Amino acid sequence: MRIDVISIFPDAIEAFASISLIGKAQESGVLDITTHDPREMTSDVHRTVDDSPFGGGAGMVLKPEPIFDLVEQRSLGRPLIYLGPSGRPLTQAVANELAELGGFSLLCGRFEGIDERIREHLIDDEISIGDYVLAGGEVAAAVVIEAVGRLVPGVLGNRDSVGDESFSNGLLEYPHYTRPAAYRGWAVPEVLRSGDHGRVARWRLAQSLRRTLDVRPDLIEDRGGLSEADRTVLAEFGLD
């Protein structure tokens, strides 16, 4: 998968994309993340990429020319996705959708944002990482790269781990434990050490349901509420 990222801070993206899973996936050739700096498309001595807004007001706006030139001259991959607060919210479903593509491009805004003509005539899609305002799209691009990149076959070591984690079945994930079995007097739940795989699976489902009911009841509603089977498994572990 090829991801092109347009940013006036390419170093930030490159540093992030060189570590851990994403870094290894780039080394093995599964992912190719290429940055593009709009300043390279400018010809003035200050390499100006922004200007003050028509109509007045605070802040600066990213100019259209360097961005259009970049996308057109380098034939960047489509869809071209702008990262911005007015985009559709990034969810696991959106990450899954992007992971199916052979590639895409991300445009990071800065300052007050981008000239509207870029949005109207150049970008294909807009994604927001949440209902808050960042100072730039770079962190949002990193979030998209990580959420999508780890779904690309060959990036995660153990593909099974994608299947039962948070959001994949509309629930938050159950708790995990590792050695030691007792730490500072806090013991790992007995069921996890019982070797009874059926009971472990039911305990995990019950924990997922309980956790989701407590912190994200909206996700339970989206699934149509608790089923009879959900209630039974919650009761089995005294979590109802």
Least distance in Å: CB of 54 to ligand SAH?
Answer: 15
Residue, CB closest to ligand SAH: 109
Q: How many CB atoms lie within 10 A of CB 45?
A: 6
Q: Which residues pair with 54 in a beta bridge?
A: none
Interface with ligand SAH includes 113 (CB under 6 A)? yes
Longest Cα pair distance anywhere in the chain, in angstroms? Answer: 71
Residue selected from 5, 84, 118, 148 as contacting ligand SAH according to rule CB under 6 A? 84
Interface with ligand SAH includes 134 (CB under 6 A)? yes
Interface with ligand SAH includes 133 (CB under 6 A)? yes
**Integer Cα distance of 186 and 194 in angstroms:** 17
Interface with ligand SAH includes 128 (CB under 6 A)? yes
Pick 38 or 137: Cβ nearer ligand SAH: 137
Interface positions, 37-56, toward ligand SAH (CB under 6 A): none
Size of the residue set binding ligand SAH (CB under 6 A): 20
Least distance in Å: CB of 57 to ligand SAH?
Answer: 10
Residue selected from 45, 75, 132, 163 as contacting ligand SAH according to rule CB under 6 A? 132
Asked if 104 and 98 count as a contact pair (C-beta separation under 8 A), the reply is yes
Least distance in Å: CB of 87 to ligand SAH?
Answer: 7
State how far the alpha carbon of 78 is from the alpha carbons of 98, 125, 154, in Å. 11, 10, 22
Interface with ligand SAH includes 110 (CB under 6 A)? yes
Least distance in Å: CB of 223 to ligand SAH?
Answer: 26
Q: How many CB atoms lie within 10 A of CB 129?
A: 20
Interface with ligand SAH includes 63 (CB under 6 A)? no
**Integer Cα distance of 207 and 213 in angstroms:** 10
Pick from 181, 161, 170, 183: nearest CA to 209: 170
**Integer Cα distance of 48 and 29 in angstroms:** 34
Interface with ligand SAH includes 85 (CB under 6 A)? yes
Residue 197, H or E segment: helix 197-215
Residues in contact with ligand SAH by CB under 6 A are 83-86, 108-110, 112-114, 128-130, 132-137, 140
